[in-house]
Amino acid sequence: MKIIMLGAPGAGKGTQAKKIAAKYQIPHISTGDIFRANIKNGTELGMKAKSYMDAGGLVPDEITIGMLLDRIHEEDCKNGYVLDGFPRTIPQAESLTKALGDMGEAIDYAVNVDVPDENIINRMSGRRACLSCGATYHIVYNPPKMEGICDVCGQHLVLRDDDKPETVKKRLDVYHDQTQPLIEYYKKAGVLAEVDGTLDMEEVFQAIVRILGA
Ligand code: AP5
Ligand code: ZN
C-alpha cells in the first residue's frame, strides 16, 4: 500500500505516519527527518537544506525530488510505504505520479489530516523532538515518561529550530501557498481521504484505519 500524508505543518502527519508504518509493516519516509539527519551528520545535502528549513521555506525541488525517488526505489519499499512531508509542491506531486506511472504503479491513498491554523501554533510550541531517533512528543498531549528525555533512545529532547512561533507562521504561509493545492490534485486523482486532525491521536488513527482497512 502506497500512502501519502497531507496536512499543514504540525497537523500530526508524522505522528500518524509512524502508527501506520507500524500497523501495516511498511516504511515511514519523512523528507523532513531525512533532511534533519543529514544536517545532524553535517553532510553536503544537510548543509544545502539547513538554510531553507531554518527560514521556514521549502528545500528546492531539484534537491528534494531526486532524494525521494531514490528512496522509494530501495528494496524495503517494494510492498509500499507511507510518505510524510512529500510531495509538498505540484512539481513534486507530478514527478512522483510520473515515476510511479513509469513502473505501472500509483498512490493508493492521500490522507489529508485537517487541522485549522489556530491549533497549529499551540501544537508546534509544545512539540519536543528527538534528533537522534526521530521520535516526537508534546509537553501536554503526549509527554515523554521522563521530562526532556526520549523514551525510545534516552537522548535529550529539543524544540526544533523551525518550531519557533515566527518561523511557524512562515511555514503556514508556505503551506497554504504551495502545498494546499495538492488536496485538489489528489481529489482529482480519486485517492483523497480526509480525516479530522483535531481529534485526539488515537481517534485520528482509528479514522485512518477505517479508510485504509484493518
Ligand atoms: P517536516 O519535518 O516535514 O515538517 P512539517 O511538514 O512542517 O511537519 P511537522 O513535522 O512540523 O509536523 P507533523 O504534521 O508531522 O506533526 P507531528 O506529528 O510532529 O519538514 C520540515 C522542513 O523540511 C520543511 O519546512 C521544509 O523546509 C523541509 N522539507 C521537508 N520536506 C520537504 C519537501 N518535500 N520539499 C521541500 N522541503 C521540504 O505533530 C505536531 C505536534 O502535535 C507534536 O508535538 C505531536 O505530539 C502533537 N500532536 C500530533 N497529533 C496530535 C493530536 N491529534 N492531538 C494533539 N496533539 C497532537
Ligand atoms: Zn530518541
Q: pTM for the complete prediction?
A: 0.94
Ligand nearest to the CA of 154: 2
Backbone Cα Rg of the chain: 16
φ, ψ of residue 6 to 5 degrees: the values are -110, 155
- Picking from 134, 135, 97, 113, the residue whose alpha carbon sits closest to that of residue 2 is 97
Mean pLDDT across the stretch 111-116? 97
* Residues contacting 73, CB < 8 A, separation 6+: none
Band of pLDDT at residue 213, cut at 50, 70 and 90: very high
Mean pLDDT across the stretch 103-115? 97
Give catalytic residues, as residue numbers: 13, 88, 127, 160, 171
The structural domains of the chain, with segments of one domain joined by +, span 1-113+168-205
Q: How far is the CA of 7 from the centre of ligand 1 (A)?
A: 9
Residue 68's Cβ-count burial label (10 Å; 0-12, 13-18, 19+) is: buried
pLDDT, tens only, 59-91: 999 999 999 999 999 999 999 999 999 999 999
Query: What residues does 29 pair with on adjacent strands?
Result: 83
- Picking from 18, 56, 55, the residue whose alpha carbon sits closest to that of residue 175 is 56
State the pLDDT at residue 195: 98
- In our burial notation (b when 16+ CB lie closer than 10 A, e otherwise), range 179-192 reads beebbebbeeeebb
Q: Are strands 109-114 and 192-196 parallel, antiparallel or unpaired?
A: parallel
State the pLDDT at residue 110: 98
Mean pLDDT across the stretch 142-147? 96
The CATH architecture of the domain made up of 1-113+168-205 is 3-Layer(aba) Sandwich (3.40)
Q: Known binder of ligand: residue 27? A: no
- Whether pLDDT at 19 is above 90: yes
Residue nearest to atom 42 of ligand 1 (CA): 123
